[in-house]
Amino acid sequence: MLKTSDAAIADVAEYMANLGSRARTAASEIARASTAQKNAALQAIAREIDARLDPVMEANAADLQAGEKRGLDAPLLDRLELTPARIDAMIDGLLQVANLDDPVGLISELKYRPSGIQVGRMRVPLGVIGIIYESRPNVTCEAASLCLKAGNATILRGGSEAINSNRAIADCIVHGLREAGLSPDVVQVVGTTDREAVGKLISMPEYVDVIVPRGGKGLIERISRDARVPVIKHLDGNCHVYIDQHADLNKALSITINAKTQRYGTCNTLESLLVAKSIADRVLPELAGQFSEHGVELRGCAATLKILPDAIPATEQDWEEEYLAPILSIKIVQDLDEAIGHINKYSSQHTDAIITENYDSAQRFIREVDSSSVMVNASTRFADGFEYGLGAEIGISTDKLHARGPVGLEGLTSQKYIVLGDGNLRQ
């Protein structure tokens, strides 16, 4: 069982090794669990959260109170808060994950080889996944449910400011797992706020197969630098829209406005707009008018300032910035080549879009822009596991290896080879 008091944990390294060892054992159990059993566990956890609404809300109230005392700022307190609506969303999320197809065991490309063997690939769980996250306690439930459905054991390390909420949710998860006849060690929440626990969690390759950090850039950079196991990470989203000289102006306007203003704080929000020189004076004034209505501050290159004298001069730093705010940088480029070059230099390789009616521009953009999502005539805001049909996502990877872009259940598994023979020998 989980130790729920810091006082009880004298030796953090030993405590984490114990968690890891139990997770490793639980991982083989959940790896061979049937789809029905995993779904039953998800449904049982949903019921437990519903039944334990009061203690979960009380635990959250304690975190909020402590947070206010510690002087946490309003956005942080907002992320920390579990409203009844957010708890309902957690419950819905669990049931949605239960409804997703089980990725484990899927065999693909099974084919006969000249030697007579059949060779194919089977999708299998990764093993033990360590999740490190900040403030939002609903991540406890979201992350655990996805990892569980993909047949993995999980060790969750939330922020110290949410420790009571996370423990209360963990209680629900443990009861749900038990109800479904699964080991409670399939999902473990680190029961100490000691920072050493994170250092240990990311350096136990014998117990942990992959780390998924969710949080600010600082946290993720630190974890990537120090981890001794692979990390599936999302650093930042400096997303571009390039309005090609062959763009349909209506699409250019509506997509650019949507990509920037539909939500400001998300990683797939437009941060930097590129406009082909030959079309700039036809598109920028109208765009600037609409952005002004939305209260979006525009920061432009020298050429942009000639068309939009009210814009603020952009600095080199602006091309690299993920504002997460009503600010947009604008650069006029000579042509498609310069646009692709600029994006491949400054983009965070998250999501970049071209607006064009030209076949060749579209083809080249798709092929040559080296980002996890590359779009033609669509808003960058679509870069999202739900919009892509993954059912749910644990994050959006800006890495190249393993999972790139929105990571759903498939990204929490890998493929092994299976060979079916009939006594075949190697010649």
| Binding status of residue 83 toward a second copy by CB under 8 A | no
Nearer to a second copy, 44 or 252 (CB): 252
- Which of residues 122, 219, 324, 327 is near a second copy by CB under 8 A? 122
- Pairwise CA distance, residues 155 & 173, whole Å: 12
Nearest CA among 322, 318, 264, 320 for reference residue 291: 264
- φ, ψ for residue 292 (rounded to 5)? -60, -40
Instruction: Say if residue 283 is exposed, middle or buried (CB neighbours under 10 Å; 0-12, 13-18, 19+).
Output: buried
Minimum gap (Å) between residue 70 Cβ and a second copy: 35
Nearer to a second copy, 82 or 104 (CB): 104
Nearer to a second copy, 172 or 354 (CB): 354
| Binding status of residue 395 toward a second copy by CB under 8 A | no
Stretch that binds a second copy, among 12-20, 93-101, 249-257, 276-284 (CB under 8 A): 249-257
Minimum gap (Å) between residue 380 Cβ and a second copy: 9
Nearer to a second copy, 61 or 119 (CB): 119
| Binding status of residue 402 toward a second copy by CB under 8 A | yes
| Binding status of residue 119 toward a second copy by CB under 8 A | yes
SS3 190: coil
Contact 129, 210 (CB under 8 A): yes
| Binding status of residue 222 toward a second copy by CB under 8 A | no
Nearer to a second copy, 124 or 170 (CB): 124
Nearer to a second copy, 93 or 408 (CB): 408
- How many CA atoms lie less than 13 Å away from 304 in the CB half-sphere? 25
What is the helix (H) or strand (E) element at residue 318, kind and residue range?
Answer: helix 316-320
302 token code pair: 């020298």
SS3 86: helix
- Pairwise CA distance, residues 178 & 172, whole Å: 10
Contact 26, 177 (CB under 8 A): no
User: Residue 312: beta bridge partners?
Assistant: 299
- φ, ψ for residue 210 (rounded to 5)? -160, 150
- Pairwise CA distance, residues 64 & 58, whole Å: 10
| Interacting residues with a second copy between 175 and 214 (CB under 8 A) | 209-210
Nearer to a second copy, 78 or 370 (CB): 370
| Binding status of residue 344 toward a second copy by CB under 8 A | yes
Stretch that binds a second copy, among 52-60, 92-100, 123-131, 159-167 (CB under 8 A): 123-131
Per CB under 8 A, residues contacting a second copy are 28, 31-32, 105, 111, 113, 115, 117, 119, 122, 124, 126-127, 209-210, 225, 228, 230, 248, 250-251, 254-255, 258-259, 262, 344, 353, 366-368, 370-379, 381-383, 387-389, 399-402, 404-406, 414-426
